[in-house]
Structure 1
């Protein structure tokens, strides 16, 4: 039973050493430990405040980013609409220019055809006239081979001419 019930001296020395340890801890250890705990608590509170501020800042930046994205989309749509308008205008102008140039080329071709036709007609007339003269010359040569026929023609022409 000795082990279960301590002696009074042991209790006194244990109590005395406990109070001395308590005094020493209170004098030297509690203040630094409590100061460290207080610093840690302050650091944690400050970190929580900074995290909340960062969260608010992030939310604000996200809202600004979304607004900028919406604005960029609107500007992109406007630029695309303007580009489409310019493209359609360029295509329209090109079609009109091509139509005008085609009409001008057709008119030039008509004029060229008309000129070529006139030249060909003149050439045909010259050839016909040349052939007619050759034929007439051959006919007259054949007809005037005889001297008597020539004399008759000259006298007939003289009778027709009236002075």
Structure 2
């Protein structure tokens, strides 16, 4: 069995080639690669910081939106309450005005009825008085047309005078 013997020349040339490659990479590629990696790391950190700032800004905006919504709701409720109060006031004012007008109309109607009633009573009294005069006139004519009846009337009047 043959053991594989490492050849020293091959190891030397492999190590020398590796060292030259390492030197060339270090001289020309290592700094740009590390610079690119550093730039990438910085851009990632910057992007993470911007994302965190954006998240905080979004939270602030949401809090502002909630506050504005609450204020808007409160203002809407206040406006609705004012509108309801104004409506109730207008309705109550209208009812009061209608009641005052109705009372005024009732008083005017009562005054008109009373004046018409007085006028009717006066008219009836005048008619009754005229009718009474006509009846009395007819009765007196009837009684004065007959001489016997005239004497009886005079005697009854004289009798009434003595009694009083």
| TM norm structure 1 | 0.62
> Which residue pairs with 1:21 in the alignment?
21
User: Which ranges in structure 2 are unaligned for 5 or more consecutive residues?
Assistant: 140-144, 148-164
The equivalences for 1:49-88 within 5 A come to 49-88=49-88
| 1:104 CA drift (Å) | 1.6
- Inter-partner Cα distance in structure 2 for 1:103 and 1:122: 28
- Inter-partner Cα distance in structure 2 for 1:61 and 1:119: 85
| 1:33 CA drift (Å) | 0.9
Q: Which has the higher contact order (CA 8 A, sep 6+)?
A: 2
- Inter-partner Cα distance in structure 2 for 1:27 and 1:121: 138
1:42 aligns with 2:46: no
| 1:22 CA drift (Å) | 1.6
- Inter-partner Cα distance in structure 1 for 2:38 and 2:64: 38
User: Which ranges in structure 1 are unaligned for 5 or more consecutive residues?
Assistant: 140-145, 150-163
> Which residue pairs with 1:103 in the alignment?
103
Runs of 4+ in 1 over 6 A off after TM superposition: 122-139
| 1:133 CA drift (Å) | 9.1
| TM norm structure 2 | 0.62
- Inter-partner Cα distance in structure 1 for 2:14 and 2:53: 53
- Inter-partner Cα distance in structure 2 for 1:10 and 1:119: 153
| 1:40 CA drift (Å) | 0.8
| 1:37 CA drift (Å) | 0.6
> Which residue pairs with 2:142 in the alignment?
none
Aligned-residue CA RMSD (Å): 3.8
